[in-house]
Amino acid sequence: MKRTRIGAIDVGTTKVCTIMADTDGSIAGTRILGVGIVPSHGLQKGMVVNVNEAKESIRDSIRKAEQVAGYKMESAFIGITGRHVVSSNNKGAVAITRGDQLVRPTDLRRVLEVAKSVKVPGDRKLLHVIPRTYMVDGQEGVKNPVGMHGFRLDVETHIITAAVTSIQNLAKCIRGVGIEIDDLVLEPLASAEAVLSDEEKQTGVILADIGGGTTDIAVFKDNTIYHTSVLPVAGHLITRDISVGMGLSFDLAEEMKRKYGNVMPVQEENADQDQTLTQDGHSVSYRDLSEIIRIRVDELIRLIVLELPHTDYAKIVPSGIVLTGGSANLPGIAELGMEVTHLPVRVGAPVNLYGVSDTLRDPAYATGVGLLMWKMRNEDTNDIKAKQPESGLHRLVSGIFRLFK
């Protein structure tokens, strides 16, 4: 079978991760051929704030991956995140006017075009239009209406828009290093591809990717996307708390966090907790360090579940929360999450990878791996991009439908 080369670049606030692979089109048939991970510069809270610095980090990361893979990368799937990303659910409807009243693939395309024709302000761009569910003549919950009979086809979509300037800055960095963009993918959607099971997506689950600058959230239910959002609270704030609370430099606080950080409540009888940690001549108490981290993580977990519209979490997301991102490496984070939310909580890292993939088995690389999988998983879901401004056709189609109604 013919193999094609694919690439992914996760431009994070703390690291850039480039992955090169080849694939026969299936996830099982994907081999990782090159990985390049470098610290990132020029980003804040998930967004490019300095194009030249960001470009250099991206270039370094690609160079590293290319060295391992032994060939040049030409194009890649790119992750995007930041506070500028906004999501909403929208609807669209079309009439099936042909004699046989049979829903065909072209009707799916038409109804998505209608759902896509939302008014997007000039300073924003559509990133994803993902069909959630269809309705044929009022019958709800149809996953694939092709082949059904009806007069009217409705679709519910999840629409994600992003600030044009943020997209442009990121695109400039990527194109600036000679890489073509296959697609821009919202980061939590990518992370979800790498770590969630179909069953979790079906019953209801929150994916929370706690990175350095942002916590990216995607909620799935009934095997479809339910909600997405981006919180500007993540690992950097934990480090800042340690730095301010203990009078350490940011770098030393970061080192302490990674080496000794823990979020479990202090057990009184545990003598280990009274130990003093020494790093580069600075001493801090283990108990104080854990306490500072725990308070911030506790708050963050509460913010994550607050994303859900109701307080009845257990009903919406019985599969609970899956944590990814570098900060999910904090020991005890899943236990604290369960204590706070009374939901199942687990840490998700990419698994079942082939090739030079050892470094990627860490929650921090869920986004990068998920970007690779995005296309394979979403080939048939009709996630359509708004490439051009509204065409006359959308207006005509919706106009006809209004007349018909």
List interacting residues with ligand ATP (CB under 6 A).
Answer: 12-15, 46, 211-214, 234-236, 239, 254, 257-258, 261, 325-327, 329-330, 364
The one-character DSSP state at 102 is B
User: Given the rule CB under 5 A, which of 111-119, 169-177, 366-374, 385-393 is the region that contacts Mg ion?
Assistant: 366-374
User: Given the rule CB under 5 A, which of 6-14, 174-182, 310-318, 389-397 is the region that contacts Mg ion?
Assistant: 6-14
Residue 390 tokens, joined: 């509204």
Q: Which of 91, 87, 299, 115 is closest to 187 using CA atoms?
A: 87
Cα separation of 195 and 13, whole Å?
21
Cα separation of 91 and 155, whole Å?
6
Q: Give the CA-trace dihedral at 237, 242, 245, 247, to 10 degrees.
A: -120
Residue 165 tokens, joined: 């300037």
For residue 326, the minimal CB distance to ligand ATP (Å) is 2
Q: Does the protein bind Mg ion through residue 211 (CB under 5 A)?
A: yes
Tokens 């442009």 sit on residue: 168
With CB under 5 to 8 Å by kind, the binding choice for 234 among ligand ATP, Mg ion, none is: ligand ATP
For residue 307, the minimal CB distance to Mg ion (Å) is 17
With CB under 5 to 8 Å by kind, the binding choice for 23 among ligand ATP, Mg ion, none is: none
With CB under 5 to 8 Å by kind, the binding choice for 214 among ligand ATP, Mg ion, none is: ligand ATP
Q: Which of 27, 23, 21 is closest to 65 using CA atoms?
A: 21
Cβ-Cβ contacts under 8 Å for 114 (sequence gap 6 or more):
92, 93, 94, 155, 394, 397, 398, 401
Pairing of strands 43-44, 124-136: unpaired
User: Given the rule CB under 5 A, which of 37-45, 112-120, 135-143, 204-212 is the region that contacts Mg ion?
Assistant: 204-212
For residue 209, the minimal CB distance to ligand ATP (Å) is 6
Cα separation of 100 and 318, whole Å?
42
For residue 361, the minimal CB distance to ligand ATP (Å) is 14
For residue 39, the minimal CB distance to ligand ATP (Å) is 9
- The residue (of 130 and 293) whose beta carbon lies closer to ligand ATP is 293
With CB under 5 to 8 Å by kind, the binding choice for 261 among Mg ion, ligand ATP, none is: ligand ATP
Cα separation of 363 and 215, whole Å?
13
User: Given the rule CB under 5 A, which of 133-141, 172-180, 271-279, 365-373 is the region that contacts Mg ion?
Assistant: 365-373
User: Given the rule CB under 5 A, which of 11-19, 108-116, 117-125, 383-391 is the region that contacts Mg ion?
Assistant: 11-19
Q: Which of 7, 9, 12, 185 binds Mg ion (CB under 5 A)?
A: 12
The amino acid at residue 8 is A
- The residue (of 211 and 348) whose beta carbon lies closer to Mg ion is 211
For residue 170, the minimal CB distance to ligand ATP (Å) is 12
Cα separation of 141 and 157, whole Å?
13
**How far apart, in Å, are the Cα atoms of 337 and each of 36, 125, 204, 303, 322?**
32, 35, 17, 11, 10
Q: Does the protein bind Mg ion through residue 348 (CB under 5 A)?
A: no
The amino acid at residue 113 is E
Q: Does the protein bind Mg ion through residue 204 (CB under 5 A)?
A: no
Cα separation of 145 and 104, whole Å?
8
For residue 29, the minimal CB distance to ligand ATP (Å) is 27
- The residue (of 115 and 323) whose beta carbon lies closer to ligand ATP is 323
- The residue (of 80 and 345) whose beta carbon lies closer to Mg ion is 80
For residue 90, the minimal CB distance to ligand ATP (Å) is 27
Cα separation of 316 and 5, whole Å?
38
The residues binding Mg ion (CB under 5 A) are 12, 211, 367
